[in-house]
Each structure stands twice: as C-alpha cells, then as structure tokens.
Structure 1
Amino acid sequence: MASFRKRGQNWEYRIVFIDRQTGKQKEKSKGGFRTKKEAQLAAAEEEARINYFGFAENGNERVDHFFADWLEIYKKPNVKPITYSVQERNVRLNILPRWGHYRLKDLTRNEYQKWINELRGRYSEGTVRRIHSIFSTAMNDAVHEFQIMRENPIQKIKIPKQVDKSNKVAYFTREQLERFLESVKTPMKNAKYQHSIQYYALFTLLARTGLRIGEALALTWEDLDFDTKSLTVNKTLVYPLNSQPYLSTPKSKNSERTIKLDDSTIKLMRRHRINQIEVCLMYKNYKPAKDNIVFHQHDGRWLRTNVVREYFKEVCKRADLPVLSPHALRHTHAVHLLEAGANIKYVSERLGHASVKVTADTYLHVTKKIEDDALALYERYVQN
C-alpha cells in the first residue's frame, strides 16, 4: 500500500509490502517528484513490479526460488511443452543440485566457469551449451526483465570445444545399411507378431528419407501420396519421460516440408499398409491403428520411441554392426546423398534443416571431401 507526503517542494512515495522470501514486512520509498500525481504514477508502477514479479531485490533471491518461479510462471506458458520439459529437467538435474542454495548475487564467473569445465568432463559440448544457455537466459531475465540484478554474472563463459570431431556424426556405410535392413526383414525370435513388417518399413523409411524419428512416428496415411510419390511432414510426435505423448509442430519452420519418395520405398509402404490389416486379422489382441497412423503399437496407439530405440539396438547387435540409434539413419541418408553428389541445398531442404550452414557444419567431413573432389576435377580440367 502506497502513502505520499510532501517534503519541501517535492513529493515522496512510501510502499509497504511483505517480502516473499523472508515473510517479513519491508518498505520502499522514493522522493524528488515535482507533483503528487508524478509520485502516484511512479508508486503505481513500482507496486505493479513488486506484485507482478515477486522476486527479492538486489540479488538476494535464492537460485532455487528464482528458477521455480521463472520456469512455472514465465517459461511454461510461452514455450512448447517439449522445450519446457527439457529446460525443467536440466534445471532440476544439473543446475539446482550445484547452485540451488546460492543467492543470485553470490554467483561468480570464476566458480561458474570451473563448473562448466567439470560438466564437459561428463557431457558433450552440445549438452553443456544447452545447460549454460538455460542458466544464462534466466540470469539475463533477472537483469533486464525483473531488475533484481545489475548484471549477468555468467557472461562470456567459454565452453570447452569438442576435441575429437571424427565421431561427431554416427552413420552406416552403404554396405552396413544394406546389412542392417536385411537383418530387420527377419523378425526377432521373441517377437509376438512375426508376420508384421512394421519395423522393416519404419527403418527403411528413415534411411530413405532422413526423417526424424518423431516425424516418422507422427505420420498418418493421409500424409503419404502414392500418386505423386511424396510424403508431407507437418507434425512430430513428442514422447516425454513419464508423461503422455502428444503431437507438436515440427522442430523449425523449415521442418515443414514435402519429400519425394523413391519407387522401392513407395512399394514397401504399400506393402506395409496391407500388412497392417493382415496382422490385425491374424492376431486377436492386435488392434487397428488409431487416427490412421502409419506406425503403431498392438493397442493401436503411437509406437513408443524408447521401444523403437531398443529394437534398433537389437538389430544392430544381430547384424554385427556398431550399436547406434535410429537417428543414425537420418545421418546415413544425408551422408549417402552428399557422397552421391546431391546438391547440399537440396539435402538441407530434404532434411528440414534451419539453414544450409547447419547441414554443412553437421556433415563437415563429407562436404570437405566433396570440396577436395571438386578441386581435383578442376585441376584436371585446366591441365588438359
């Protein structure tokens, strides 16, 4: 509640409020206003800030209290559920165990940099960058949005680089991919539905299109156009840990795309559609797909991403191949396209990357080879 008084020629406001952190009564006052109206307007603005943000001033807010409100009130309503899930998980598992008991003003750049260096000993460069990005964004909000800190104490932090980039992208060679897909054709010995070719269709589609696993599992038969031999990507399946799956928009604007399919993939998808019906008729507890989805569990619901990953690993072991993840099929498709001489812009658009630069940076070892081959061709040309 604000009160006002005139001191000499100027007006002053005084606001009494309860500190959310300590539960004690506090007050804030400011003078120097020429008129009472100016003091009232300034007081109203300050009261709104106190009531709206609810954070302790001058960096006295504890890190765990700050992140609890920052996530729930300011992030959750404004980002995709999957984005919020990733941020909340990183805060809970990585940030709070180390920094939760600190006050914001006690954070120091040196101590934080040491922690970042320690994280790089356990996590990849990308994971550490993600954790740091969440923390730094929160601190920027503390400075610029909530005005409870003067500056961000963790600016200009150095993330140790990946020392060995040779294994950055995991993919199958052409021979390995052929062996992998040949192995998928034969169902696992303990598989309940031996007649199903679903995993063969799924992994082949991933390998021939470069789809992300979430994009593939979200597909419905309406997304496939057998006449034009194309596939439309306009959604992705999100399967959070210990939560219900849901459909979301694709990863980026460029991820919404239409992909051309080769004849053998079209033929296989036709077979899979017929096979779905056959399996439902053959096994009593195998239900038809809900919402006309292309890949589904025996109860008709979306396939679980963790189940797909485990099946993929088992196939890798059976085929005596490196044990990778389904995402390796996306890399495999990209690498094979580039090695075949496909234009990098085309590959970028087919994968749904945000930019050509992302594609070039991701597949640097391949694009470098293309560059060297092109230069060799040029040298032979000018010498003849």
Structure 2
Amino acid sequence: MASFRKIRGSWEYRIRYKDKQSGKWKETSKSGFATKKEAQLAASEANLDFEYYGFQEDGKETMYSYMEKWFELYKRPYLKQTTIDLQERNINNNILPRWGNYKLREITRSEYTEWLLELSKKYATGSVRRIHSIMSAAINDAVHEFRILRETPLSRVKIPKNNTEAKIKFYSVNEMNALIEASKLKVKHAKYQQSNMYYAMIHLLGHTGLRIGECLSLTWSDIDLENGKLTVNKTVSYPDKSNRPVVSSTKTTSSERIIELDKATVNVLKTYSINQKELYLRYPSILKPADKLLFHTADGLHYRANVVRDQFRVFCKRANVPVLSPHALRHSHAVHLLEAGANIKYVSSRLGHKSIKVTADTYLHITKKIERNALDLYEKHINL
C-alpha cells in the first residue's frame, strides 16, 4: 500500500511491503517527483518489483540478504554440486565477512580494488579471480536481472597479479615411492587389517594424476585391466551439512577422459581386485555396493575425501616426507611426466585440464627448468 504527500514543492511516495525472506513488514520511501501522478507511477512500479523480486529498491538491500537470494535463484539450480560447494565456501569465507553488512549501493570501485589487493597477498591469482568472478556476477545481476542498481562499480576491474605466488607442492620420485610403500603398512586399529585398499588408492593417485573426487567415484566398470585403461566420467562430493554423497559428471567436459595405465598400476589393481573379493568372504559385515565401487566403506558407501586426507597425513609421517594433501599426488604425477620428457599437450589431456594454457601456467616453473636443462644439453652437444 502506498501513501503520498507533498514536501517542499515535490511529491513523495511511501510504501509498506512484506519482505519475502523475513516475512516482516517494512517501509520505504522516495521523494523528488514533480507531480503526484509521477509519484504514483513510480510507486506502482516499485510495488511490482517488491512483489516479483522481494528486494529493496535503489540498492538498499544488504549483501547478506541479496547474496542468499541471488545464489538460490541464479546459481544453485544450474551448477554441479562440486562447483556449488566451492562457490559457497568463497562466499561464506571471503565475500560476506568483508561485504555482508554493506548495502549494495555502498560498494565502491576504489574500496573493492583495495580488497582485491588484500586478497592477492593471501591467495594465488587464480583464487582471487574466482572470488572476483562470483562477486562480479552477483553485482551484474543486481543491475541487469533484479534492476536494483543502475550500474555496477566492478566493470573492467583488473585482478592484481601475485608476484610472490607460491609454487605448487609436489613429491619427488623418491618421496612418492616412499609414500606409496608407507601406505602398504596396516592402518593402526583398523578393523580390516587384511585390506590393501589404501595402498591401491595412493598408488593409483600417484600414477594417474586423478582428482580425489574422481578417484573415489570409480567403479570396476570404469577400469579395463586387460587393455590397461581407466575411464574418468564422474566425481563424488559430500555437500555441506549432508552425509549423503552426490555423484555428478566431471568438473568440465574436458575432464572426461580415458587414461592409460602403466604396468605397475595394472598389477596393483589386479591384486587389489582379488584382495577385495577375499575381504567380502572373510568379513560378511562388509556390504558390497550395488555399483561395485573401487574404494568404499564397510557400509558400502563412497569414502569421504576428508577421511582419506586424514589417513594420508599418517602415511606422510610414516614415510618421513612433507605432510601435504592427496592433491599433491596429482601435481607430482604431472611434474614426473614433464621431467620424463612428456609433451605438455599429453600431460594436459591426461590431467583433464580444459586447455594446455592451464597446464603450462600451473607448471610454469617446472617447464622453465626443463627448458634450461634442455638448453644446457644442447650447448654441450654442439660444443663437443
């Protein structure tokens, strides 16, 4: 319902509306109209916006309120669960702590640029770019979809480059071999001491460069042991506040791939296949998953990545190698391939990167080192 009054020669409308999120009644007003008719037309348009969008006009909505509604309408229905988890973490850990109490119209270009500079001191350039992408998309939709801002202050904002970016963390060949050997040892207090599941898992990660979600989603039908090939076409994740796994397609279409397995990995998987069948016979309490998962809990469920990470730390300490995350095995595999002379296009395809540029940028310092070594060899060769 709208009311109108004339103040100091111009007309003002005042609207009382019900906020769709809180269910509480709120009031807003706007003045400066030359005639009562103009104020009535503007009030009618504002009322329609409230009914359709449930947002306050002119950017008075706080980022806390806006981001929640925006994400539910424009992100969650269209993203894979793994992407949803990543974006929600960035929103909750970075965007809302800084901007949550700001009204949309209070966000300025200069203050936002300063924030990006602060982020660049904490995160790699790629991480800052991902955070900015979420924030920029939200503000753009506030302009073009929700029409609660006239323009975005974030257009053409430059991402500061982190000149002190940390290099990727990986294991040397000797360290990785020691780690794989350490995973053969039995897990302390483990109920199923005869299982060599972790050994097979760590070996597979180190020799294929699989992402942890891709590895934990594998079924035996994805593996062709006779021809030494492994098909990657899905990944698994556990959404926040949920104990149920979500199996979805891979991170990108380029992530869908067929990986050739080396002979050692084929032998490890063959041995593990026999070991798994023996465990089913020895321990009737172990439930066989209907989809014949490669790695699964005693309840027949997908393993959680955080459980694997915890056990991985144990193996790192046993092997006396740096305590990193299982993702370091993916980096290690890529580095070992490059050091062995593999073509970067082959490495990119094997890792499932969306482009060779991603691979080249990720392992830039490795490729530079290889190039320097190649040049040294060339100089020695022509100076014989």
Same fold (TM over 0.5): yes
- Shift in CA distance, 20/123, structure 1 to aligned 2, threshold 3 Å: farther
| Partner Cα separation in structure 2 for residue 245 and residue 279 of structure 1 | 24
Partner residue of 1:194?
A: 193
State how many pairs are aligned. Answer: 362
CA contact (8 A) 2:49 2:55 kept: no
- Shift in CA distance, 156/119, structure 1 to aligned 2, threshold 3 Å: same
CA contact (8 A) 2:17 2:50 kept: no
| Partner Cα separation in structure 2 for residue 57 and residue 138 of structure 1 | 16
Aligned residue type for 1:250:
T
1:163-202 alignment to 2 at 5 Å? 163-165=163-165, 167-202=166-201
Partner residue of 2:78?
A: 78
| Partner Cα separation in structure 2 for residue 164 and residue 27 of structure 1 | 49
CA contact (8 A) 1:20 1:55 kept: no
- Shift in CA distance, 58/378, structure 1 to aligned 2, threshold 3 Å: same
| Partner Cα separation in structure 2 for residue 122 and residue 369 of structure 1 | 26
Deviations 1:273-323 (A, max 9, x none): 111111222234322234100001111111111110011111001111100
Structure 2 residue runs of 5 or longer lacking an equivalent are: 2-12, 20-24, 34-40
- Shift in CA distance, 330/118, structure 1 to aligned 2, threshold 3 Å: same
| Partner Cα separation in structure 2 for residue 252 and residue 294 of structure 1 | 22
CA contact (8 A) 2:344 2:360 kept: yes
Partner residue of 2:211?
A: 212
CA contact (8 A) 1:20 1:56 kept: no
- Give the alignment's TM-score, normalised by structure 1: 0.84
CA contact (8 A) 2:237 2:304 kept: no
Superposition deviation, residue 328 in structure 1: 0.7
Which of 293-302 and 369-378 deviates more?
Answer: 369-378
CA contact (8 A) 2:113 2:157 kept: yes
Aligned to 1:228, the other structure's residue is in SS state coil
Aligned residue type for 1:116:
L
CA contact (8 A) 1:210 1:331 kept: yes
- Shift in CA distance, 278/144, structure 1 to aligned 2, threshold 3 Å: same
Superposition deviation, residue 131 in structure 1: 2.5
Q: Percent identity?
A: 50
| Partner Cα separation in structure 2 for residue 117 and residue 381 of structure 1 | 47
| Partner Cα separation in structure 2 for residue 176 and residue 185 of structure 1 | 15
Superposition deviation, residue 55 in structure 1: 2.7
Superposition deviation, residue 216 in structure 1: 0.7
Which of 168-177 and 43-52 deviates more?
Answer: 43-52
Aligned to 1:133, the other structure's residue is in SS state helix
1:34-53 alignment to 2 at 5 Å? 51-53=51-53
| Partner Cα separation in structure 1 for residue 232 and residue 215 of structure 2 | 8
Aligned to 1:292, the other structure's residue is in SS state coil
Q: Does 1:321 align with 2:321?
A: yes
Deviations 1:213-260 (A, max 9, x none): 111110000000122210000100112333121101101111000011
Deviations 1:58-113 (A, max 9, x none): 22222222112101122221222332233233323432233222211111223233
CA contact (8 A) 1:225 1:231 kept: yes
- Shift in CA distance, 318/251, structure 1 to aligned 2, threshold 3 Å: same
CA contact (8 A) 2:81 2:237 kept: no
- Shift in CA distance, 242/98, structure 1 to aligned 2, threshold 3 Å: same
Superposition deviation, residue 130 in structure 1: 2.7
CA contact (8 A) 1:238 1:246 kept: yes
Superposition deviation, residue 156 in structure 1: 4.6
- Shift in CA distance, 380/120, structure 1 to aligned 2, threshold 3 Å: closer
Partner residue of 1:240?
A: 239
Root-mean-square deviation (Å): 3.1
Aligned to 2:87, the other structure's residue is in SS state helix
Superposition deviation, residue 188 in structure 1: 2.5
Superposition deviation, residue 26 in structure 1: 6.9
CA contact (8 A) 1:277 1:288 kept: no
Q: Which residue of the other structure, out of 6, 23, 26, is the alignment partner of 1:23?
A: 26
Aligned to 1:129, the other structure's residue is in SS state helix
Structure 1 residue runs of 5 or longer lacking an equivalent are: 2-14, 31-39
Superposition deviation, residue 205 in structure 1: 0.6
| Partner Cα separation in structure 1 for residue 200 and residue 321 of structure 2 | 19
Deviations 1:145-168 (A, max 9, x none): 222212222345455543434x42
| Partner Cα separation in structure 1 for residue 16 and residue 229 of structure 2 | 62
1:219-368 alignment to 2 at 5 Å? 219-243=218-242, 244-368=244-368
Aligned residue type for 1:57:
E
| Partner Cα separation in structure 1 for residue 208 and residue 154 of structure 2 | 41
Aligned residue type for 1:259:
I
- Shift in CA distance, 106/26, structure 1 to aligned 2, threshold 3 Å: closer
